[in-house]
């Protein structure tokens, strides 16, 4: 399996989803090699074999570059667009330490580097099936399949779409280089898994992948044995609190959250809005709030981790996910898990899996305003939603998602030869 | 016979820490004690102590001739007393020589003169009291936060009995007049106005170490010759600047201390020239004209207006909200709360929120302890939300039932009067 991040070194939902899915697959007898671009010391990853791709030899072209006069190994590493340091191994081949920050400066270079590493790894490992998560790993999947092919093995390739550049790019159309990588990866895959029907449609429409090649596997949510309860916060006693949590970037609709804050607080001074997250639109949103006269009405917190995430959900009386385009939207389920009802945009995958989310078009601020005030002031309705949501969530487990994925593996492997079950980079 | 009038601003704010919204209602301590202590000590070592030693040395060498003036903000002096008392002592020694004049300002180095006349006067009185307590003197001259000045502010200051006030010698205000004379405010009834010669002041304060500058390196000789040029066309050259220019903004290795050490001698090489304190200047020279400044000017940034602290929605939103707490805070009679509220008024907090991106952006960034103006704003928003809760709790009109049990037992809910929040003095 090729991934890009795992908690706690994750910037968003991708790492969480990869962890959840593999935790579901392992008990089903699936033996997983999980490749990461660097040594990110993943937590809770004992159920699989985590491989640090940067320990494998990089392309010899790096050596040529190193020989160029006057460039330090660091400078060469940085010039590659993905590295921070180069060392020469005992085999005389270069190793490039992956630089966790600075993604997408050169998407093509990064994807190609990862593909090269993937081929090096594939040569040393045996596997029945390859599973690639997100565009950064699509070339890697293809490269690994070619290595297997060269030794006479037919190895199906599954690419897993957690989000597309079309979602991220919004009206700007996204980064064309990334869209090209996505197109190639998705079209050359034997099967494409999307996290929602919503995303399936995008993959069909924008990436020219035929519907029969796409399977929908909704994300799950891990249910902690006992959800920690946090102290009722002083803020909560005095105000009604409405929460946004996520990357502050166009596709998440943070500006619609500010608009909503204006509409609601103009009418009800007891309500405060809280925006948790970091991202490229963070400053713009802060300025926008100030401009709208919302100083003191909208509070901000940078990206939170671990316990603090649950603390924020529990602090809120209501959660809003106003995404313009959201492949899944795990945050809405996490909110419910913490007993906080959620309003989500209709343009989201999570809207497909729960009947207990309030669904409104992201642009319909007026409808949202009404819903916010109604939910804030009718505790019975809020409670009913979260209660029902919680019981519904038992079916939204990663175990279920993993079973679906296992079914897809069996189908693909069965089409070739009798299955010895294992996905991902798999050892027999 | 012209005078050279030095005035140094001495100021350190109470910087806020990264107060997170989870702390609202639980933790009322907003300030970064560690950073404040470290910065005070660092600047004491680089600037205040060596600069004060140098000034004392110069006064001892020229006991009749070398004179300077300072205003020390109340919050700075408070922090010196706590973090580096030797700085307080060194200022006391300087004042005791009689060659050093202290000026009044607002205790909190605030923008209150622009928002709330009552609060402004209260803060000036606090500063006056502090100056008396620490130095045993009563200032006769006033200088407002960052030289913020307007006709209206001048009227308030004159009504408080000050004999003169300092302001920026900004061309649009001077309309062709020279800053090198004593002036009067537009509606003045005798109070004088001293205007900063910003070109010569900034040669020291900003350009001194700039290697791109054609005059670099600036020697005391050259600078004194520039001063001497005003002979016959001016009475006083007012050189007003941050005291931290010495050793902090301009590091020791730029030669700034040597520059000052040689300055008295080179200035007085011209027999007509001498040093004078602001009080001496207004006695020595009669005012030549009245100056009208309808809109506030200051010594900050290229615009010399109030746009360093006010004007963008974050600054305006935060400060407007801050001042709405006046009644609730003062009404609480909680000295810790009042002090905290006033420390939040210090102009630096709003300076950090400035988003002007050209030449001045760099200066703002230099002074800011935060990553971005937006951080300062969101931190201030969290702090003020906590303040909102605290003032809600202390307002007697709003009873807060403490326990359900209690309200069951008695028909009257328990009153909040005993519920004073812990204060962060």
Across the interface, do A238 and B389 touch by the CB < 8 Å criterion? yes
Of B318, B382, B392, which has the smallest distance from its Cβ to A299's Cβ?
B382
B385 at interface of A, judged by CB pairs closer than 8 A: yes
Residue % of chain A over a pLDDT of 90: 68
Across the interface, do B21 and A234 touch by the CB < 8 Å criterion? no
Query: How far apart, in whole angstroms, are the C-alpha atoms of residue B307 and residue B322?
Result: 18
pLDDT score, position B78 = 98
pLDDT, tens only, B217-276: 999 999 999 999 999 899 999 999 999 999 999 999 999 999 999 999 999 999 999 999
Residue B378, min C-alpha distance to chain A (Å): 6
pLDDT score, position A416 = 65
How does residue A417 score in pLDDT terms, banded at 50, 70 and 90? low
Q: Is residue A398 scored above 70 in pLDDT?
A: yes
pLDDT, tens only, B273-283: 999 999 999 99
- Is residue B98 classed exposed, middle or buried when 0-12, 13-18 and 19+ CB atoms within 10 A define those classes? exposed
Find the mean pLDDT for residues A231-240: 83
Give the range among A10-14, B187-191, B408-412 with minimum mean pLDDT.
B408-412
Find the mean pLDDT for residues B365-375: 72
Q: Is residue B399 scored above 60 in pLDDT?
A: no
Q: Is residue A403 scored above 60 in pLDDT?
A: yes
Q: Chain B residues with CB inside 8 Å of A308's CB?
A: 22
CA neighbor of A402 nearest in space, from A206, A222, A280: A222
pLDDT score, position B197 = 97
Give the range among A346-355, A390-399, B173-182, B342-351 with minimum mean pLDDT.
A390-399
β-pairing verdict for B192-196 and B182-185? antiparallel
Tell me what ipTM this predicted complex has.
Answer: 0.86
Contacts of A416 (CB under 8 A, 6+ apart): A154, A156
A280 at interface of B, judged by CB pairs closer than 8 A: no
Mean pLDDT (chain A, rounded) = 90
Cα A382 off chain centre by: 28
CA neighbor of A87 nearest in space, from A56, A118, A43, A121: A56
How does residue B334 score in pLDDT terms, banded at 50, 70 and 90? very high
Mean pLDDT (chain B, rounded) = 91
Restricting to B residues 217-256, those with a Cβ less than 8 Å away from any Cβ of A are none
Query: How far apart, in whole angstroms, are the C-alpha atoms of residue A274 and residue A264?
Result: 13
Which 3-state string (H, E, C) describes B21-63? HHHCCCCCCCECHHHHHHHHHHHHHHHHHHHHHHHHHHHHHCC
How does residue B349 score in pLDDT terms, banded at 50, 70 and 90? very high
pLDDT, tens only, B16-54: 999 999 999 999 999 999 999 999 999 999 999 999 999
Structure tokens given for A107: 């998407």
B252 catalytic? Reply is no
Contact A58, A96 (CB under 8 A): yes
Q: Which domains does chain B have, with CATH numbers?
A: 3-291 (3.20.110.20), 313-411 (no CATH)
Count of residues in chain B: 425
Q: Quote the pTM value.
A: 0.86
Give the range among A157-166, A171-180, B91-100 with minimum mean pLDDT.
A171-180
pLDDT score, position A257 = 98
Give the range among A249-253, B70-74, B93-97, B140-144 with minimum mean pLDDT.
A249-253
Exposure string over B152-162, b if 16+ CB within 10 A, otherwise e: bbbbbbbeeeb
């Amino acid at each position: 399996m090729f991934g890009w991040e795992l908690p706690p070194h994750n910037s968003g939902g991708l790492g969480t989803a990869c962890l959840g899915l593999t935790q579901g697959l392992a008990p089903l007898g699936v033996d997983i090699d999980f490749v990461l671009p660097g040594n990110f010391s993943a937590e809770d990853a004992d159920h699989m074999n985590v491989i640090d791709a940067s320990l494998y030899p990089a392309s010899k072209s790096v050596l040529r570059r190193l020989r160029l006069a006057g460039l330090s190994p660091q400078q060469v590493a940085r010039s590659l667009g993905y590295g921070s340091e180069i060392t020469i191994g005992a085999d005389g081949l270069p190793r490039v330490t992956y630089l966790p920050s600075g993604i997408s400066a050169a998407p093509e270079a990064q994807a190609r580097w990862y593909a090269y590493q993937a081929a090096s790894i594939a040569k040393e490992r045996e596997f029945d099936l390859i599973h690639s998560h997100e565009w950064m790993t699509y070339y890697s999947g293809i490269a690994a399949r070619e290595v297997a092919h060269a030794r006479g093995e037919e190895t199906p390739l599954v690419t897993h779409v957690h989000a597309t550049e079309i979602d991220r790019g919004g009206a700007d159309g996204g980064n064309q280089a990334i869209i090209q990588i996505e197109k190639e990866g998705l079209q050359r895959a034997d099967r494409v898994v999307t996290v929602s029907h919503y995303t399936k449609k995008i993959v069909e429409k924008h990436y020219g992948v035929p519907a029969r090649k796409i399977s929908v596997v909704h994300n799950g949510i891990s249910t902690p044995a006992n959800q920690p309860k946090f102290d009722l916060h002083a803020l909560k006693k005095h105000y009604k609190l409405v929460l946004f949590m996520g990357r502050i970037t166009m596709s998440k609709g943070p500006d619609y959250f500010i608009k909503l804050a204006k509409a609601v607080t103009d009418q009800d001074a007891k309500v405060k809005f809280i925006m948790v997250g970091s991202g490229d639109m963070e400053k713009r949103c802060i300025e926008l709030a100030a401009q709208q006269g919302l100083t003191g009405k909208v509070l901000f917190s940078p990206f939170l981790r671990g316990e603090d995430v649950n603390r924020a959900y529990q602090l809120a009386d209501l959660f809003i996910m106003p995404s313009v385009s959201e492949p899944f939207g795990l945050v809405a389920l996490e909110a419910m898990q913490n007993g906080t009802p959620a309003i989500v945009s209709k343009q989201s995958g999570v809207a497909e899996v729960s009947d207990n989310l309030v669904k409104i078009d992201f642009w319909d601020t007026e409808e949202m305003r009404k819903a916010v005030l109604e939910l804030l002031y009718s505790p019975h309705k809020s409670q009913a939603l979260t209660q029902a949501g919680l019981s519904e969530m038992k079916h939204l487990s990663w175990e279920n998602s993993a079973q679906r994925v296992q079914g897809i593996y069996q189908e693909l492997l069965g089409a070739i030869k009798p299955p010895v079950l294992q996905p991902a980079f798999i050892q027999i | 016979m012209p005078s050279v009038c030095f005035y140094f601003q001495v100021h350190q704010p109470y910087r806020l820490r990264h107060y997170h919204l989870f702390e609202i209602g639980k933790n009322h301590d907003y300030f970064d004690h560690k950073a404040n202590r470290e910065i005070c000590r660092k600047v004491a070592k680089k600037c205040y102590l060596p600069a004060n030693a140098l000034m004392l040395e110069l006064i001892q060498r020229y006991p009749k001739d070398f004179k300077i003036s300072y205003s020390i903000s109340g919050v700075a002096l408070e922090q010196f007393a706590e973090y580096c008392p030797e700085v307080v002592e060194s200022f006391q020694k300087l004042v005791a020589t009689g060659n050093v004049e202290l000026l009044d300002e607002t205790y909190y180095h605030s923008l209150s003169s622009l928002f709330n006349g009552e609060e402004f006067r209260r803060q000036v009185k606090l500063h006056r009291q502090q100056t008396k307590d620490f130095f045993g003197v009563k200032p006769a001259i006033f200088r407002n936060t960052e030289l913020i000045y307007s006709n209206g502010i001048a009227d308030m200051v004159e009504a408080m009995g000050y004999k003169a006030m300092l302001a920026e010698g900004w061309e649009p205000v001077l309309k062709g007049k020279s800053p090198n004379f004593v002036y009067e405010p537009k509606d003045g009834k005798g109070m004088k106005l001293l205007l900063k010669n910003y070109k010569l002041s900034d040669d020291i304060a900003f350009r001194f170490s700039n290697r791109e500058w054609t005059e670099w390196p600036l020697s005391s000789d050259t600078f004194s010759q520039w001063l001497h040029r005003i002979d016959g066309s001016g009475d006083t050259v007012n050189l007003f600047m941050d005291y931290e220019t010495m050793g902090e903004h301009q590091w020791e290795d730029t030669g700034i201390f040597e520059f000052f050490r040689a300055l008295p001698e080179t200035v007085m090489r011209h027999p007509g020239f001498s040093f004078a304190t602001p009080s001496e200047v207004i006695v020595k020279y009669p005012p030549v004209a009245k100056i009208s400044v309808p809109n506030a000017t200051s010594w900050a940034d290229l615009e010399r207006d109030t746009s360093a602290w006010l004007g963008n929605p974050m600054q305006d939103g935060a400060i407007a909200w801050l001042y709405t707490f006046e009644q609730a805070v003062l009404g609480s009679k909680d000295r810790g709360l009042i002090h905290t509220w006033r420390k939040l008024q210090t102009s630096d907090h709003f300076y950090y929120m400035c988003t002007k991106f050209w030449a001045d952006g760099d200066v703002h960034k230099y002074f800011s302890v935060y990553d971005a103006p937006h951080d300062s704003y969101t931190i201030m928003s969290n702090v003020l939300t906590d303040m909102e809760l605290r003032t809600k709790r202390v307002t007697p009109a709003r009873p807060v039932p403490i326990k359900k049990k209690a309200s069951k037992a008695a028909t009257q809910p328990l009153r909040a009067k005993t519920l004073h929040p812990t204060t962060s003095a």
